[in-house]
Amino acid sequence: MSMESESNEGGEAAVAPGNPLVARRVPLKGRRLPRACAPEGCDGYYHVVSRINGRARVLTDTRREGFRELLGRVVGFCGVEVLTYCFMENHFHLLVRVPGEVGEIDDEELLRRAALLYGAPPSRGRQPLSLAGIRGALERGTAEEREAMRSLLIGRMGSLPMFVKILKQRFSLRYNREHGRLGTLWEGPFRSVLVEPTHRALSVVGAYIDLNPVRAGIVEDPKDYRFSGYGEAVELEKAWAVEREGGKLSLAELLRCRVRCLTDGAVIGGKAWMEVWLRANPETYGRRKTPPKAMRGGVWGGLCSLRDLMKGVIG
C-alpha cells in the first residue's frame, strides 16, 4: 500500500519512529490540537484545568491552603490575574487573564517579583536561581550579565504555559520532598480553553468553575466551599460587612476566612506566654517597648500576634 492510500480517510500518514520508510496512521481524534491562544499583543482569557496523576486525592485541606498561597506568589511573579478558581481533591480549575504584553519592568520591580519565588533558600541545591544571585547580577554584574538575567526573568512572565509550569513544578517539588518520592505528580499537560473577553462568556465559565463542588455533591451552595473564588469572595464580604458595622466575627466564622495574623503575625499565643518568649529571644525581634496586641477582627479568646496588623486583617 502506498503512502498516499495510508493517509486517506480516518487518519493521516506519519513516519514510524526508527524507520523512515514505514508510515503509520494517526487517528484524527487522537491527535492533540494546538493550544488556542489570543492574538499576539492582546490579553488572553483562559480556563485552565490540570489533574493529579491517576486521579489521586492528594489535595487535602492543608495542601489546598498551601496551593492557594503558592498560586498567589506565582501570579505576582508572572503578572497573571486570576478571575476565579476552584481546587478539588484531585484537580484544579483556574480562570485567568494573561496580559498580551509584559510592558516595561525596571530592576526594582523585577527584584520585587523575583522575591516572591526566589526569596527562600534553595532546597537541597535544586533551585538554580536565588534572590541573592538575581540581585547580584542586576546590581553588580556586567552589562551582559544584567541583560541576560533580565531576559531570563522577563521570559518567564506573561506566558500561560510558563505560568502553569511554574505553579505545577513548585507544588510537585514541595510534595515530593515531603513524601520522599520522585517523578511526576500531574497527569500530562494541562488543558486550556480560550475564552472570549466578554461578560457573558467569562461569567458562564466562571460559574462553571465555582459550581464544581456542587456538581461533585460536596456542598449544596457554592458559597459554602472555601477553596473557590466565589466561596472566598462571600466569606470576605461577610467579614468586611461585620468590620464596617463595628462587630466581631465568631471564632468559627473567622476560621472560614483568610486571616493575615495566622500567616503574617510572626508569633501567635497568649499575652503572658508571648512576653516570656520575647524576653527569652531579644536578639530575634529586639527589645519591644509595646506589649503584644490582641488579634483583631473577631473573638480570638485572648490570642495575640507579635505583628499588629491594623489594616487588611481579613483577606
Roughly how many angstroms between the first and final C-alpha of the chain, as a whole number?
66
Going residue by residue through the chain, which has 315 residues, state the pLDDT in tens, using 9 for 90 and above.
333 333 333 343 444 444 444 444 445 455 566 788 888 889 999 999 999 999 899 999 999 999 999 999 999 999 999 999 999 999 999 999 999 998 889 999 999 999 999 886 555 545 568 888 999 999 999 999 999 999 999 999 999 999 999 999 999 999 999 999 888 899 989 999 999 999 999 999 999 999 999 999 999 999 999 899 999 888 777 766 666 656 667 776 677 666 767 766 678 888 888 888 777 777 665 555 567 778 777 777 788 887 766 555 565
- In eight-state DSSP terms, residue 186 is B
Comparing CA positions, the residue from 89, 83, 137, 84 lying closest to residue 110 is: 137
Q: How many CB atoms lie within 10 A of CB 93?
A: 21
Sheet arrangement for strand 44-51? 81-87, 91-98, 44-51, 191-195
pLDDT at 22: 44
Phi (first) and psi of residue 48, to 5 degrees? -110, 135
What pLDDT score was predicted for residue 313? 58
**Boundaries of every domain in the chain:** 1-31, 44-102+155-214, 248-315
CA count, 13 A, side-chain hemisphere, 184 = 11
Residue from 285, 241, 238 nearest 257 by CA: 238
Grid cell at residue 220: 449544596
What's 44-102+155-214's CATH class?
A: alpha beta
pTM score of the predicted model = 0.70
- The pLDDT score that the predictor gives to residue 275 is 80
Residue 298's DSSP bridge partners are: 249
